[in-house]
Structure 1
């Protein structure tokens, strides 16, 4: 039965064309955006996971940037510690020279004084981003960000610490002269013509003690540097893993989508042709009324 009021074939062809157009639009969006899950409506579970992981990854990258700042602070402190060790070595050499009876101890003290001034100078200059771990002042612990983790209660930033109070070169620097700290006793070395061998031995003991303490402090900084370097490498690896995991969930398979797009374009053309045929069937009724 053919009706001029209701074209069942055309309605069916139209529904098919609408469905194909919807699928074609979806495929085109995937090809143009590169995502198969770009919004919650596409896949609620995958969209939720990817949104959370992308947020975590951004926080991880921020933590990596903070690691860079921390590494710079530690490197500054470590370079200062190495310089201080070299200067104290020089003071030690001058004291050994002063053990010779023929030497002028007062002249040697002039050189030691310059070296003591150098110690104060390098400690005062060991500042990065407003922090100086070599002059304790009111500081007790120095901290640097070394990671970002997700826990059952949410997210957290982890830090590594450095004992400034115990490892600073000086407690304070007043008028360019350092006092207290690891080098406070070294700054008290003062040779005169009357300095005895026993006093020189005591000064050498002071220097050896300072060198031992400086070495321990340098080792602590070196360990902190190693930790930061390892965490930086891990953060980069973890970030790549997160990106790859999210990609598996939401990225479109471009080869598959390309094949689908070509097929849907062909289906669209056939559906349009089918609709055209269905619409033209009603026109055939006219031939029944022709003489």
Structure 2
């Protein structure tokens, strides 16, 4: 086999192959350093990139779910604020009813207490009507008024969590002022109007309070899950920049040495000319 040839420079070929491999490795390392990712696209690692895209989709879904539940939480907070005021006012109404149940009241006194009762009843109606958030309310079932059940997504799979609305105008508002002591006493009886409505208010407070607690817990869980997903995603595709930085410097030195070696190998055929000099 000929070793001294101007047609085939084995040394230059070897040097060129080594330099090409170094350049390829350098390009990969530079990409990792510049992007911060070990896997930034499917060419780097198709399987890992596919998994990463699926995880990113889950992260986007969870983020959207929390945003939607945050909006529903606003509706619940407004609802509970209104119900708390209704409950407080119902306490005052009970006090007035007890007075109206007194058969010794004069006609003038009864009229005054009835006016006070009606005023408190109107306050309850206003609290219920005003308990809206962004045009939505849980204290009416009338869709035209922004009421009705509310279904919100709770996770990245778009699983729904439904909040059931109540018809506040009929189930939470006491009847008009009783006209006499007997009617007032009847309203205060165990199955009377006031007791029935107060029980409905308490039930609504309990239900919507439980809904609010659930949504807060679900959003907290989603945030923890987001942290876990992002940590796992980072472990899968993030580059170790300290390692890549050291590797980059080593490859740059190898590139310089490879370029010098190729230059030397390319000059070796020049030595054959000396054989033909006189």
TM-score, structure 2 as length reference: 0.90
The equivalent of 1:107 in structure 2 is 112
Aligned-residue offset at 1:260: 1.2
Match of 1:119 among 116, 124, 147: 124
- Supply the RMSD in Å over aligned alpha carbons: 1.8
1:187 aligns with 2:175: yes
Question: Does the CA-based 8 Å contact 1:70-1:144 persist in structure 2?
Answer: no
Could you tell me whether the CA contact under 8 Å between 2:85 and 2:127 is conserved in 1? yes
Match of 1:261 among 234, 248, 269: 248
Q: Is the 8 A contact 1:57 1:242 kept in 2?
A: yes
**Which deviates the most, 259-268 or 218-227?**
259-268
Partner of 1:199: 183
Q: 2-side partners of 1:26 and 1:120: how far apart?
A: 69
SS in 2 for 1:187: coil
Does structure 2 conserve the Cα–Cα contact (< 8 Å) formed by 1:92 and 1:207?
yes
Count matched residues: 268
Report the Cα offset of residue 159 of structure 1: 2.3
Equivalents in 2 of 1:36, 1:60: separation in Å? 25
Structure 2: where are the runs of 5+ without partners?
A: none
Q: Give the structure 1 partner of residue 168 of structure 2.
A: 169
Structure (1/2) with the larger strand percentage: 1
User: Which residue number in structure 1 is paired with residue 42 of structure 2?
Assistant: 40
Residue of structure 2 in register with 1:176 after alignment: none
Alpha-carbon separation, structure 1, partners of 2:267 and 2:176: 110
Give 1 or 2: higher helix fraction.
2
SS at match of 2:243: helix
CA distance in 2, matches of 1:275, 1:231: 63
Unaligned runs of 5+ in 1: 150-155, 171-179
Residue 241 (structure 1) aligned with residue 228 (structure 2): yes
